[in-house]
Structure 1
Amino acid sequence: MRREEARRAVFFDVDDTLYDHLIPFRKAVEQAAGGQRALGDFPFAAAYLRLRYHSDMLSLELGGAGAMEAGAATDYMRMRRFQLTLAEFGIPLTDAQAEAMQAAYIGCQYDIAMFDGARELLEELARAGWVVGLITNGAPRHQRSKIEAMRLDELIPRERQLISGSLGWDKPDARVFRHANELTGTLPENSVYVGDSWRNDVVGALEAGWRVVWFNHRRAERESAHEPTFEASSYAELRELLMR
């Protein structure tokens, strides 16, 4: 496709960027622990960030998202991430307990509500002439189920819904972002990525030459000297940045 310098692209991460990924995590932990009262003042937000970290690291050990669709190794990784995460907060889990937590997590992961203003912003960006797309890490069927739960096919053509497990590259690999540019005929300097993960989204997109809006709604700490182009904590702030 011919590249057009004036053509603007904006791609979004999915998990914890378009919808609140903490909700299914919290439900799973509470369900497996016997309810919220049993956990007291457990720091769900901090634990969720550690679960994301362990998921990324274990996935890399197994060969990335392209190897993460199914199988014994994947089942072990998904169970083990809960053990590693909860252990950091003083809650050791047996294999059976971690498997029950993972089963509860999967059971509610597709009960998804987008962040307030997210759908409206995607629609407004498309009307304004932006090339709108998704770039998400994960196994194809798993991520596709989330995309369908949010009815994103109504807003974004499937060819612009890029899932790492189908591509063979995981964020932060710059090839993911270069592929998005080649696919849409856009240039890195005219492309914006919106995502919550410092390592995968901020670092990955910046090193591919894109501008980045760090969707830091969890007030996470920066992990390197990289400098996101903008930072936002809500879709109201995102709209002000992208539609001005």
Structure 2
Amino acid sequence: MRQAIFLDVDDTLYDHLSPMREALEEELRLPASFPYERAYYLFRYYSDLLSDREGLSASPDRDKIANMQKQRFMLMLADLGVTIDERQAGRLQAAYLARQFAIRPFEGALQLIEGLKRKGHLVGLITNGAGPHQMRKIGALQMENHIPKQRIFVSGVVGMAKPDPDLFAHVNQVTGTLPEHSIYIGDSWRNDVAGSLGAGWTSIWFNHRHAEPESELTPHHVVSSYAEMSRILLGEQAGE
């Protein structure tokens, strides 16, 4: 049966931790023992929390977005016992932004996308963020060689953001697909798991950072690699 299979972008298609880690290392000279995995989890947690609270993922309000970007660094570091001021947070955001476009897809990501297409499935992307910013990252990943633009949905362009189930319903409407035949792959519990399940989609939680569930929801599959995704979605070992 032909299915619609959509992927998240940040920390699902590529390693989103690396630019944050490099920014923290450059600006704060943190010790090698600093818990970067935990820092990344908190960074995403506060980014999602603040964005959801202010409706920023589908908003063009640059001042509010800039404030959120600084606050997420401050809150994340405070939880880990490091205090910074807004000026330092602004420098961290600038350093982080400068590194966001030197990215490449995770091992196995492109092979999975092409394998799904060969089997006749409809493949696309759904991502939160400002349109130009997310599209620049998608361009850096050279996704235009693999996924048509009409199947790339960015919250800042659509005007709705994950975890709002209306965004997933909008994707179904535009692509002529049905929720019961749709699958979403993403790393964020709040945005990706809760959002896709709320829309009646099959949810694959890409938990490659081994995070704990944030609620009683149950994704249909939990995977930590693209090899596992390939076994589930293609019925074969990655690379075969």
TM value normalised by structure 2: 0.95
Q: Any stretches of 5+ residues in structure 2 without a counterpart?
A: 236-240
| 1:216/1:233 contact within 8 Å kept | yes
The sequence identity of aligned pairs, in percent, is: 48
Q: Distance in 2 between matches of 1:70 and 1:150?
A: 26
| One-letter code aligned to 2:131 | P
Corresponding residue for residue 238 of structure 2: none
Question: Any runs of at least 4 consecutive aligned residues in structure 1 with deviations exceeding 6 A, and if so which?
Answer: none
**1:1-244 pair list within 5 angstroms:** 6-34=1-29, 38-67=30-59, 69=60, 71-244=62-235
Q: Distance in 2 between matches of 1:95 and 1:208?
A: 38
Residue 63 of structure 1 and its aligned partner are, at CA, apart by 2.4
TM value normalised by structure 1: 0.93
| One-letter code aligned to 2:41 | L
Q: Distance in 1 between matches of 2:204 and 2:52?
A: 25
Residue 70 of structure 1 and its aligned partner are, at CA, apart by 5.8
Task: Please give the secondary structure, in 2, of the residue aligned with 1:65.
Answer: coil
1:31-67 per-residue CA deviation (whole Å, 9 max, x = no partner) reads 1113xxx423011011111111111122223322122
Q: Distance in 2 between matches of 1:71 and 1:12?
A: 26
For this pair of structures, how many residues does the alignment match? 235
1:123-178 per-residue CA deviation (whole Å, 9 max, x = no partner) reads 11111101000000111111001100001011111011000111111111111111
| One-letter code aligned to 1:76 | N
| One-letter code aligned to 1:153 | E
Q: Distance in 2 between matches of 1:206 and 1:77?
A: 27
Q: Any stretches of 5+ residues in structure 1 without a counterpart?
A: 1-5
